[in-house]
A and B are shown apart, each in its own frame.
Chain A
């Protein structure tokens, strides 16, 4: 039962949501809006379940001896801080919740991401080798864009930025467009298989 019902539900929802695209009708578009609303609620509930997983995991880690317990405490402190501030004083302008977001969370996330500037450089040094014709083209395209999209490119030659624009707007678009078409077909094929009940990986263990 628990295997058949989801497959049916999935099929009915899928067919309806695809079909409504071609139908001009008040009740149909209303029902369609309602289903979209459900999707949002389901998504948020799935997120909350994930968050509960994280919290229970950290609590488990605290009960274990070793340095991990201190880190788990820091993580739980972070969660508790945001929850208390957010529900206690609100999330409007000037609230402590937004203060922590602005002064701690956002800059830390930015910093972690900026670490990639360093990784990119070391990957470029060791990995960008023109071993054969294809990789030579790869290296060349990267160098042209690297220099052509900043002021230094204009100093080297006014043709550099123009070349970059052409490379970006013609050959790069052609390749990206073909990849888009290919992945679009792949995703559509998967969606069709999901609705037809042939692809059930999403049902998790035992679904297939």
Chain B
């Protein structure tokens, strides 16, 4: 059965739009993976420093923003200090916005509670360089203030002063954090990933090279539930469910149709090959 692609497109669009307009309120259960990330951050001492790296392009913003916000809400609420940076050019502006927005929401002061270093290209060199000296890699912050003029940064030399690195990523960047910061300097890494990347990092989690993975819009919604906040991603979860369901149904229909055609072919021309 040859179906116009546009009919399929329409089904997907409806599966997303309808539940956004008329929410179903499906329950969101928290997975162990998300809980592990939450508990790791709970174990950090107050005042310790988390390095949040915006390792993504602007194109994945709807997935990346809720993830970064969930982590930052947790950090700021627990008085954990945050140093932001970006290893992708487009992450630079996104991270700058998100960090300042969230800090304002929690009444945090720039230079004491958080700082934003900005962007460095060529991630291998940047990640390795920070293992020796962060000041060498970032002589100034994003707004051109010299590194040593920022009280929070003055206390930080290299990974030795960083409790945890969280890489918010839509691609292979956490691999570089593992290969260069974890393997070489023993830096602990957590990855907040778009859903598409989750399976790619499972081996690293299993081998203990990454301490935890927070995955996709669903992971962000779960995290907000753990934080006891009104789950911002919850409405999205209804749409997500319905869209998945409609695609699953299409896979099944496609197979049933193909199977039916094959049976028909076999009866008309015995032994004929299909596909």
| A interface residues with partner B (beta carbon < 8 Å) | 21, 29, 32-33, 36-37, 39-40, 43-44, 47, 91-93, 98, 101-102, 105-107, 109-110, 112-114, 117-118, 120-122, 124-126, 128-131, 139, 142-143, 146-147, 149-152, 154-155, 161, 165, 168-169, 172-173, 176-177, 180
- Beta-carbon contact of B26 and A152 below 8 Å: yes
Residue of B nearest to A42 (CB): B122
Q: Which of A98, A128, A147 has the most CB of B within 10 A?
A: A128
State A36–B57 Cα separation when bound (angstroms): 23
Task: With CB as the reference atom, state the residue of chain A lying closest to B239.
Answer: A150
Assess A37 versus B244: contact at CB under 8 Å? Given A118-B9, A122-B8, A130-B255.
Answer: no
Cα distance A40–B137 in the bound complex, in angstroms = 10
**Residues in A neighbouring B255, C-beta threshold 8 A:** 128-130, 139
Q: Are A152 and B9 in contact (CB under 8 A)?
A: no
Whether the pair A173, B206 counts as a contact (CB closer than 8 A) is yes
Give Cα A92 to B128, complex, Å: 27
Q: How large is the interface on B (under 10, 10 to 19, 20 to 34, 35 or more residues)?
A: 35 or more
A121 touches B26 (CB 8 A): no
Instruction: Let me know if A173 and B202 touch, CB within 8 A.
Output: yes
Chain A residues near B94: list those with CB within 8 A: 106
Q: Kindly list chain A residues whose C-beta atoms are within 8 Å of the C-beta of B198.
A: 168
Q: What are 5 A-B contacts with C-beta separation under 8 Å? A: A40-B121, A110-B61, A122-B5, A129-B258, A169-B206
Chain A residues with CB below 8 A from B202, complex form: 168-169, 172-173, 176
User: How many angstroms from the CA of A168 to the CA of B205 in the assembled complex?
Assistant: 11
Closest to A136 in B: B255
Q: Which residues of B contact A130 (CB under 8 A)?
A: 255
State whether the Cβ of B59 lies closer than 8 Å to any Cβ in chain A: yes
What 10 pairs across the A-B complex have the smallest Cβ distances? Answer: A151-B26, A36-B125, A109-B59, A106-B58, A152-B241, A113-B59, A43-B122, A150-B241, A177-B203, A125-B250
Residues in A neighbouring B246, C-beta threshold 8 A: 121
Bound together, the chains give a CA A32 to CA B254 distance in angstroms of: 56
Partner of A121, one of B120, B129, B247: B247
Docked-complex contact A147 and B248, CB < 8 angstroms: yes
Q: Say whether B29 contacts A44, CB under 8 Å.
A: no
B3: A residues at CB distance < 8 A: 125
Distance to closest chain B CB from A171 (angstroms): 11
A109-B31 contact in complex given A125-B250, A129-B275, C-beta closer than 8 Å: no
Q: How far is the CA of A107 from the CA of B90 in the complex (A)?
A: 12
Q: B residues engaging A (CB < 8 A)? A: 3, 5, 8-9, 11-13, 16, 26-29, 31-33, 57-62, 90, 93-94, 96-97, 100, 120-122, 124-126, 128-129, 132-133, 136, 142-143, 184, 195, 198-200, 202-203, 206, 218, 237-238, 240-248, 250-255, 258, 275
Which A residue's beta carbon lies closest to that of B259?
A: A130
Is B9 within 8 A of A122, CB to CB? yes
Q: Is the CB of A93 within 8 A of B100?
A: yes
- Cα–Cα, bound, A174→B243 (Å): 29
**Is the CB–CB distance between B254 and A124 below 8 Å?**
yes
Complex contact A124–B251 (CB within 8 A): yes
Please, which residues of chain A bring their CB within 8 A of the CB of B57? 109
User: Contact check: which of A92, A146, A165, A176 meets B32 at CB < 8 Å?
Assistant: A165
| Residues on B with beta carbons closer than 8 Å to the beta carbon of A110 | 58-62
Q: Would A40 and B241 count as touching, CB distance under 8 A?
A: no
B-side contacts of A92, CB under 8 Å = 142-143
- Return chain A residues, CB-CB under 8 Å to B133: 33
Q: Is the CB of A121 within 8 A of B237?
A: no
Q: How far is the CB of A8 from chain B (nearest CB, A)?
A: 22
**A91 and B26 contacting across the interface, CB-CB below 8 Å:** no
Beyond A33-B136, A151-B26, whether A91 also contacts B206 by CB under 8 A is no
Please indicate the chain A residues that have their CB under 8 angstroms from the CB of B258 in the complex. Answer: 129
Q: Indicate if the CB atoms of B125 and A37 lie closer than 8 Å.
A: yes
Q: How far is the CB of A85 from chain B (nearest CB, A)?
A: 12
Taking A40-B121, A117-B16, A125-B3 as given, write out 9 further A-B residue pairs in contact, using a Cβ cutoff of 8 Å, ordered by the A residue number.
Answer: A29-B132, A40-B120, A91-B93, A109-B59, A110-B62, A118-B13, A121-B8, A139-B251, A150-B244
Q: Does B244 lie within 8 Å of A161, measured CB to CB?
A: no
Q: Which residue of B lies closest to A180 (CB)?
A: B203
Q: Which of B120, B142, B238, B250 is in CB contact (< 8 Å) with A124?
A: B250
